[in-house]
Structure 1
Amino acid sequence: MQERYWQAIVSNDAAYDGTFYYAVTTTGIFCRPSCKSRVPKREHVRIFGNRQAAAAENFRPCKRCRPDGMRLPDEEWTDLIAGYIAEFYAEPITLAVLADHFYASIYHLQRTFKRVKGVTPLTYLQQTRVDAAKRLLLETEMPVSMVGGRVGIGNAAHFATLFQKKTGLTPTEYRQTAAI
């Protein structure tokens, strides 16, 4: 494999999209060079000039970067986005981060997610964080300010305000009510 191809894979270089595709022998999946999936071991990578050649070798297209050009059904796509939010809710997630990760414009992602899930990605993220905070408040003795930080809301006042807005109780009241 040429070094420039490997560097394109490692750096997720979109400039090489359409120039080549890479497949990973251990997973049986092929991707675009810009795919945000985990970097494979170099010895497991095969390079193809086009997606048809990769498919002819029985490699499946990646569900993340969709190198075959096929869109996932909106429900399946939004489920992937929701799964990403559920896994990484404590990280700094913005619409721009989601759009970049799921190969869509901010506007398309926002519109599609809201149409399918009934709420915006931000509202979904906030509810996911509040649900995680509820678990931490019940299962740990962690101070409320640390709970907010642990679920991705670093500002304690913002955390308390959001928690109260979503649950009707402050984090402290929620912990006390649950203890009774």
Structure 2
Amino acid sequence: MNGLNNEVMWNAVESCDENYDGVFIYAVKSTGICCKPSCKSRTPLKENVSYYPSFSLAINEGYRPCKRCRPDLLHTNEEDIILSAKHFIEKEYRNSLTLDRLAKEVGVSKFHLQRLFKKSTGLSPLEYATKLRMIEALGLLQDTEKTITEIAHKLGFKSSAHFSSMFRHHFHYTPTIFRKGLNK
């Protein structure tokens, strides 16, 4: 982790050094909680502490954020939050994507993420994911012979009916009508 060893990180935890916030997160095995190095909670036993380069890795290991220091709100640069969220959505939009999962991944609360993302893009994170699905749907309908059902499943929709409904909502015609229009 950025050339840090466990002793340097432990000293930062012991002294509640805020200079290390954003550099690493520490987690306490006995409580199941992860904190920023500057957390003013009682200092844990050294043998109960693990270190992580990011909040999301600690969460993936089963730790929950401290309610005192709020490591889940570590990001302060709004542009970085939006870019991280967009990158994750662009990678995962075909899969089951929830606001909770996205917020954990970028390290902010879901309410903060929703507000920032909408302010920046004009869309909610899930609307952005749906837009990406619809753009890919247009390409698949245009450039492949895949059935509507195959396209729906490839894009992560549970059924072709739901896919068709979303497609009609975005483009004001069904996937079938779109495809027929291309073949004229």
Q: What is the TM-score when the length of structure 1 is the normalising length?
A: 0.64
Instruction: Tell me, in whole angstroms, the C-alpha distance in 1 between the residues paired with 2:171 and 2:177.
Output: 10
Q: For the Cα contact (< 8 Å) 2:141–2:179, is it kept in 1?
A: yes
Cα deviation, residue 36, structure 1: 6.8
Aligned positions of 1:1-180 closer than 5 A: 15-17=33-35, 18=37, 19-22=49-52, 31-32=53-54, 34-35=56-57, 69=74, 71-72=76-77, 74-180=78-184
Secondary structure (helix, strand or coil) at the match of 2:57 reads coil
1:33 offset after TM fit, Å?
A: 6.5
Question: How far is 1:132 from its partner?
Answer: 1.0
Tell me how far 1:158 sits from its aligned partner.
1.2
| Residue ranges of structure 1 left out of the alignment (5+ in a row) | 3-7, 23-30, 40-64
Deviations 1:52-82 (CA, angstroms, capped at 9, x unpaired): xxxxxxxxxxxxx99xx5523x123212211
**Structure 2 vs 1, CA of residues 33 and 126 (structure 1 numbering), >3 Å: closer, same or farther?**
closer
The alpha-carbon distance between structure 1 residues 158 and 111, as it changes in their structure 2 partners (threshold 3 A), is same
The answer to whether the 8 A contact 1:90-1:150 is kept is yes
Relative to structure 1, the CA distance from residue 138 to residue 14 in structure 2 (aligned partners, 3 Å threshold; closer, same or farther) is: farther
Q: What do residues 83-127 of structure 1 show as CA deviations (whole Å, max 9, x unaligned)?
A: 211111111001111111111111111111101111111211111
- Structure 2: segments with no counterpart, 5+ residues: 7-25, 38-48, 62-70
State the AA in 2 paired with 1:104: V
Pair 1:111–1:135, CA change in 2 (3 A): same
Whole-Å separation in 2 of the counterparts to 1:89 and 1:34: 19
2:23 aligns to what? none
The CA RMSD over aligned residues, in Å, is: 3.2
Query: TM-score, normalised on structure 2?
Result: 0.63
Distance 1:94 1:120 in 2: 12
Change (3 A) 1:91 1:126: same
Alignment partners' CA distance in 2, 1:171 and 1:91: 21
Q: Which amino acid aligns with 2:154?
A: R
Q: What are the Cα deviations for residues 112-168 of structure 1, in whole angstroms up to 9, with x where unaligned?
A: 110111111121111111111111111211110111111111121111011011012
Residue identity (%): 26
